[in-house]
Amino acid sequence: MNQVLAALKAAAEPTRLRLLALCAEGELSVTDLTQILGQSQPRVSRHLKLLVEGGLLERYREGTFAFYGLASVGAMATIAAQLVGMLPEDDSQRRLDRERLGAIRAARASAAQAYFDANAARWDEIRSLHAADAEVEAAVLALAGDRRIGDLLDIGTGTGRMLEIFSPRVARATGVDLSREMIALARAKLEQGGFTNCTVRQADMYALPVGNAAFDCVIIHQVLHFAEHPAAVVAEAARVLRPDGLLLLVDFARHDVEELRTSHAHRRLGFDEREVRGWFEAAHLAPAGSRAVSGDPLTVTVWAAEAGGSERKGASPQMAAAGLAG
């Protein structure tokens, strides 16, 4: 009873209701929320503290940044979702808050895209500063095992390196990326290397242009630390996996190298085991092992997960090919 009363008291204020509604849209930093609300940082932080203490928001610390999201589990999560659901969609203040949030996300996406485009030609060089590529690639191949892979999808393919190393093991491999510069670079490299079973296409990782259950294996390699909603990317990858298909997720373990955020457009400073397993569970994927490749100062982890078998239905290989054509 006391916990419920504390939650309701925490929410019973106009600014805090706005904060709940905004955090229901995704994880946001204090800086994001301060810009949207047009209030001072101390004031916004005080409101956030009350909402966290009331159990309606969760706080995640990453380096010098703190991110806030709606409570995700338990009774308080239910109350938080119900409170947000009661807020009128056509409220003028809520519309304005969403417009400001959209502007912030657009600016962040534009900065990340500009970074990709500006660094396309030396992307491999930049990545090599953070991890031992050969060891990471060996770990990826080891977790893939000797399973038969007909169709493979590489989300955020970058220079197409994952396509190159998997080409001898698959019938067909497709890489997608939002950056035209990256696609052009990957296409040139694949053509030069004679990887005739590999293709690249421009596509949004949040809305892949294929039907359900179209691929035997999906790779997300060093992409999620740029993503606004990593869980949504994993869910979309799970959607296009065939029954018993394999997801390979490669990214940094949690770290505190703040320069990667400020100078290299990283949205997140790596991920921990609990967070990744939560994404897998939400996407109905079963964890299938992981391998860590230590570096200085960063560690890269490769996580594997498998799709369920009997209940999954979806597109044929022909649908997959048609969706990514053109």
In sequence order, what are the residues at sequence separation of 6 or more whose Cβ sits closer than 8 angstroms to the Cβ of residue 126?
119, 264
List the single range of 56-70, 133-147, 168-182, 207-221 with lowest mean pLDDT: 56-70
Q: What is the pLDDT of residue 271?
A: 96
Of the two residues 192 and 140, the one the predictor is more confident about is: 140
On the question of a cis peptide bond just before residue 209, with omega within 30 degrees of 0, the verdict is no
pLDDT, tens digit, 9 for 90 and up, residues 150-200: 999 999 999 899 999 999 999 999 999 998 888 888 898 898 888 989 999
In terms of DSSP bridges, do strands 57-62 and 65-70 run parallel, antiparallel, or are they unpaired? antiparallel
Number of H helices, E strands in the chain: 14, 10
Closest CA to 146 of 217, 42, 219, 237: 217
Q: What is the pLDDT of residue 106?
A: 85
Q: What is the pLDDT of residue 247?
A: 98
Of the two residues 213 and 189, the one the predictor is more confident about is: 213
Q: Is the pLDDT of residue 322 over 50?
A: no
Dihedral, CA of residue 249, residue 31, residue 130 and residue 273, to nearest 10: -40
Average confidence (pLDDT) over 137-141 = 96
Closest CA to 20 of 48, 43, 41: 48
Question: In angstroms, rounded to a whole number, what is the distance separating the alpha carbons of residues 76 and 54?
Answer: 8
pLDDT, tens digit, 9 for 90 and up, residues 18-33: 999 999 988 788 999 9
Please state the pTM of the whole predicted model. 0.73
Confidence of residue 250 (pLDDT cuts 50, 70, 90): very high
Going along the chain from its start, the domains and CATH numbers come out as: 2-87 (1.10.10.10), 123-323 (3.40.50.150)
